[in-house]
Amino acid sequence: MNRQVSQVGIASLVLLAALIVGTTYWQTWANAGLADRQDNDIQLVAQFKIKRGKIYAADGRTLLATNVKKKIGGQTLYFRRYPTGPLFTDVVGYSTQSRNRTGLERSYNDYLTGSNANLDTVFRSALDKLRGATVTGNDLVLTIRPGAQALARRLLQGKCGAVVALEPSSGRVLVMATNPTYNPNLIERHFAQATRTTAPCGAPLLNRATAGKYQPGSSFKIVTASAALDTGRFTPHSSFYDPGYCIEYGKRVRNAGNPEAPETFGNVDLDFGFEHSVNSVFCNIGKTLGAGTVLRYAERYGFYSLPPLETPENERVESGLYNRGRLFKPKRPEFQVDPGRLAFGQERLQVTPLQMAMVAGTVANHGIEMRPRLIERVLSPGGRTITHLRPEQLGRPIKRQTADELTHMMELVVQGGTGTPAQIPGIRVAGKTGTAETGREGINTTWFAAFAPVDAPKVAIAVVVENQRNGFGGTISAPIAKQVMEALLR
């Protein structure tokens, strides 16, 4: 009988060993998959037991996100408070129980909950857990300047649009403001109230700066001029004859369709055409270069790829041609795209304010495009720096000489062209206006893309304002850009 008893004994031990294997599977192999499940309320609640890191603006003092401690049913939970309300919400997002997370609260959740893989943090979190202390996340310091951000929001009041300002040499995002937006403190309990808006357009939850798609209008001429100069096919002094229209496919494309420069200018050069935003000049450039070349330069600036930024991917969109709401990349652009209209920013072009700011920043940075960045540094709860911003080049879309020639042309725009309202006394400003027709009579999307000071650029900016009746880039967007740049340069 003893043999059988041993065998049954071994069988029993195998059964119990299988339990250890099973537990190991769920706790080490499958646990990440379980944690990601939507209905995992344990994970959801556990996240609220962590004291999330705080978020600060660039000055390191202005608190954008902090915690409120609450004791519910014997457990201590930490809920988010956003002291600045709607001011930074497009960037910071929210972290709530009922609606999960958006913005940096989502994409930097690992850092904010102390579960990032940095040795320092891993060690500290493990120690906290062992001691039974509350796990505390890492703090974020953003690159956004609170004063200029508040000013930009104020200037957008009553309008719909966005302001994005970058530091050209490093890619730091200095301002990212939109209107309408929402109060993140209301998301948890008063969602309907948070999403209500008095602005003339809807969608307050949309981050217009990175996910708003707008017709660029003449502001796209920076890209077309880049292609014209960089390929060597044109110089700033190339001469054109402007009869008030340009002939495409045997039909006239009239300047009169351009709300910024409906006149006829006669003999002009490229500098003048850019300064006064003459459509026929760019229409002819487009026809000469072909849509493929213009689109290639757009791609070099970052069109057709998600603008790189630390926010979640689904809160950013690509710039480029759109066909029925979907990004359209023509296989044979010479046959599929109207080169003349493309060249002055009509066709089916849709651009985000962030992308346009990157274009202006590239010209300012002598042709080198920097990766836009929102996070200045990540600090441990003890205040030690875990990571900090290291400026990174995205590429070199245009030659230095091209950038310098463009800078000159953009300066002409502000000195005596369509962008004179952007002049700042004592500071040389370069810019380009854009006024895109929306298809509704007299209603325009107005743009201004600029940088300053010209000799040593400290700020590049893009301002877009939606649905302006009889408004132009020069009259609506340029003054906003001017004031924000002034605040940033002060």
Partner 1 sequence: MYIARQDVISTASLTYAGFFFALYLAAHLVTRRTVPFADPYLLPIAGLLTAIGLTEIYRLHPADAFKQGIWIVVAVAFFALALFTLRRDYRRLETYKYLFGITAIGLLVLPILPLIGLTVNGARLWVHFGSLRFQPGELAKIMLIIFLAGYMREKREVLAQGRPKDWGPLLVIWVLAMLVLLETRDLGGGLLYFGIFLAMLYVATARLAYVAAGLGLFLVGAIGVWRITPHVRERVTIWVHPWTEHKVFCPLSGQLELRQNCQSFQLVKSLYSIGHGEYAGTGLGKGTFTTVDGKQIIPSLNTDFIYSALAQELGLIGVAALLLVYMIFVLRGMRIALLAHDGFSKLAAAGLTFGFALQTFIIVGGILRIIPLTGITLPFVSYGGSSVVANFLLLAGLLLVSNRANRETLQ
Near partner 1 in 16-45, by CB under 8 A: 16-20, 22-28, 30-31, 34-35, 37, 39-45
Mask: binding to partner 1, 97-116, rule CB under 8 A, as x and -? Answer: x-------------------
If binding is defined by CB under 8 A, does position 4 make contact with partner 1? yes
Name every residue whose Cβ is closer than 8 Å to that of residue 10 and which is 6 or more positions away in sequence. Answer: none
Strand order in the sheet with 385-388: 75-81, 63-72, 55-56, 139-142, 375-379, 385-388
Stretch of 8-16, 222-230, 249-257, 272-280 contacting partner 1, by CB under 8 A: 8-16
If binding is defined by CB under 8 A, does position 13 make contact with partner 1? yes
Tell me the CA distances in angstroms from 274 to 350, 364, 411, 453, 490, one per residue in order. 21, 17, 10, 20, 29
Near partner 1 in 117-176, by CB under 8 A: 126, 129-130, 132
If binding is defined by CB under 8 A, does position 77 make contact with partner 1? yes
Contact in structure between 478 and 430 (CB atoms under 8 Å): no
CB of 29 to partner 1, least distance (A): 10
If binding is defined by CB under 8 A, does position 3 make contact with partner 1? yes
Reduce the DSSP state of residue 379 to 3 states and report it: strand
CB of 65 to partner 1, least distance (A): 19
CB of 35 to partner 1, least distance (A): 6
Nearer to partner 1, 24 or 323 (CB): 24
Handedness of CA 323, 328, 331, 336 (dihedral sign): positive
Q: Residue 463, CB half-sphere, CA atoms under 13 Å: how many?
A: 31
Bridge-partner residues for 75, per DSSP?
72
List the one residue from 60, 75, 196, 400 that touches partner 1 (CB under 8 A): 75
Nearer to partner 1, 131 or 490 (CB): 131
If binding is defined by CB under 8 A, does position 235 make contact with partner 1? no
If binding is defined by CB under 8 A, does position 49 make contact with partner 1? yes
CB of 277 to partner 1, least distance (A): 53
If binding is defined by CB under 8 A, does position 11 make contact with partner 1? yes
> Rule CB under 8 A: which residues touch partner 1?
1-9, 11-13, 15-20, 22-28, 30-31, 34-35, 37, 39-46, 48-49, 72-75, 77, 97, 126, 129-130, 132
